[in-house]
Each structure stands twice: as C-alpha cells, then as structure tokens.
Structure 1
Amino acid sequence: MKKTALISVSSKQSKKENDTIEVVTPGSFYKKENCYYVVYNETEISGMEGTTTTFKINSQDNKFSLIRIGTTSTKMEFQKSTGDISLYNTPYGTLELKIDTKELNMDINDNGGNVFVSYDMSVAGQKPQNTSLKINIKAQ
C-alpha cells in the first residue's frame, strides 16, 4: 500500500498568538510492518528546500518520529511523558534540541488520519518553549 496524500502540517508556539506556521503539500503515505509513514519534500517557503521530511507513526508503541534528511537533518522522537535529545543540523550549524513530550494523540488508518503532538523544546539549555504540531493526512 503506497498512496499519494495531501499533507497538512500546522506548528504553533503556544505563547505567541499569531505564530502559527501551516504547510499543505502533496506527498506519499504508506504502511510498513506496524508503522505508517508520510514522506514529502520541503519547499522554499518552509526555508528547508532540498530536505525530505518523513513522519514515522507507530501507534502500537505510541511513538511518533520526525525525520529530516537533506539541507536540514534531524531525527526527533516523541513519546508521551518521555524526553529526547536530538541534533538538528542546518546549513548554519548544529543545534542540540531537548524535547519533552506532553501530549501525543494519533488516529491513523489506511486512509490517513490525524496526529497531534504538544511538547516543550529547548535549544542548548535555554528556556523551554511549548510547541504543538497538528498533522492531517488525506490519502488519495
């Protein structure tokens, strides 16, 4: 099962009213073993042109991964009530990100679905900032 999909990604930092970034893009959606995968290419609008983003959705283990490969590279793991440290490689240098997942909801099936993640993220020991990520996948 590999399908084309319309992917909507909305990222919001909770303390800033108008700080929502939303991207709607075509991509692919498939299932491999017990995980669903969403893959799309970043564009100039996101500032990450030349990067491929993959979401790995593992409902069985209640785990969500955001993987970027290209001009920007990272692997961020989200699992409720656990923390993760990842390196975020950009053309301008590497940042160490500390992620503390507060909420993770995944409602996904062979036709697509929704993922919601709320997490605190801090860069190199700075004050954590709460961010929420809403993802909608419409398989076609």
Structure 2
Amino acid sequence: MEKDVLVSVIGVQSDLVSKDKEEIEVITKGKYYEKGMKKYITYKETEMETEKDIMSTVKIDNNRVTLSRIGENSTNMLFEVGKKHVSHYNTMFGNFELGITTRSMDIDFDDNQGEIKINYLLEVNNSPVGVNDICIKIQNDFSNFKLS
C-alpha cells in the first residue's frame, strides 16, 4: 500500500583537501511503499541551478540502498557497506564517472517512520573528492515530523 510521507534529506559533503563542509537539506512530500521485500521512497525536488524538477527514488533492498535521480542531472547511486560501486552522473555540463565506497549504513523502519544514514567516500573520474553523509527520514504523521 502506498502512503503519503514527509521526506527529509540532509546531505553533508566534506572536501578531502580543504576539510570544508557543505550541507544541503530538502524537505518535501513523497510516497512510501513496499513491493515484495523491498521498500521504496519517491519524492520530487527542484534543482537549485536550473530550477527544474528532479524525481528521486530510494530503494531499500536488505543491506543495499539505491538512490536514483532523474531530471536535468541524472544518476543512479548504489550503496553497500564495504563495496565500491561505479555509476555515472549525467549533467548539462557533461558526464562524470562516480565511485561510491560505502563506509557505514544504518537502516531503521517501522510502520510510521523510517531513517537511512549513509557515510561514503566519493570519487569523481577516479579522483577522491570527499567523504559524504546522507540522512533520509520519512514520517507519515506530518504534525510530529522532527529533524535532528
């Protein structure tokens, strides 16, 4: 059964050289559903530079999480602890190869809410660029939605 949910996505990018951190936060309405043993979260966000919509889908499959983004900038990122996965990031400026090595991942879901926390090393075109954290929270009771 599909549920309307409130989705919070917080991403923190830490530059390997300068140690500077940049945080991005998105809060939006989305959908949550289960299909077989997999859980899905879908939501729409607006790209800051182009102001065009991006459709994002998060798929939780046991100890693997896939984040797919389709729009002006598109990618398909696979997170699995201790493994490096390569994907492509397609932008209006060109295509880049992404290397994603997941260092840690916590997944916690119940009937009313869920949270995914991922820490990963990011490479662009085979060059390490940063250590990133992403936290995705969903809650189907909009009145009690809390951000950490």
TM over 0.5: yes
Tell me if the contact between 1:42 and 1:50 (Cα under 8 Å) persists in the aligned partners. yes
TM-score, scaled to structure 2:
0.85
Structure 1 segments (4+ residues) deviating >4 Å? none
| Native 8 Å contact 2:44 2:56 kept in 1 | yes
**Alignment RMSD:** 1.6
In terms of Rg, which structure is larger? 2
**Partner of residue 26, structure 1:** 29
TM-score with structure 1 length normalisation? 0.90
| Distance across 2 between alignment mates of 1:109 and 1:139 | 11
Identify if the C-alpha distance between structure 1 residues 83 and 48 changes in structure 2 by more than 3 Å, giving closer, same or farther: farther
Query: How many angstroms does 1:115 deviate by?
Result: 0.3
Give the unaligned 5+ runs of structure 1. Answer: none
User: Which residue number in structure 2 is paired with residue 75 of structure 1?
Assistant: 76
1:92 Cα offset (Å) = 1.7
Percent identity for Structure 1 against Structure 2:
36
Cα deviation per residue 1:72-124 (whole Å; 9 max; x = unaligned)?
22111000000000001112211100010000110013323100000000101
Structure 1, 24-33 or 44-53: larger mean CA deviation:
44-53
Structure 1 partner of 2:12: 12
Match in the other structure for 1:121: 122
Q: Is the CA contact (8 Å cut-off) linking 2:26 and 2:45 kept in structure 1?
A: no
1:48 and 1:71 in contact (8 A); partners too:
no
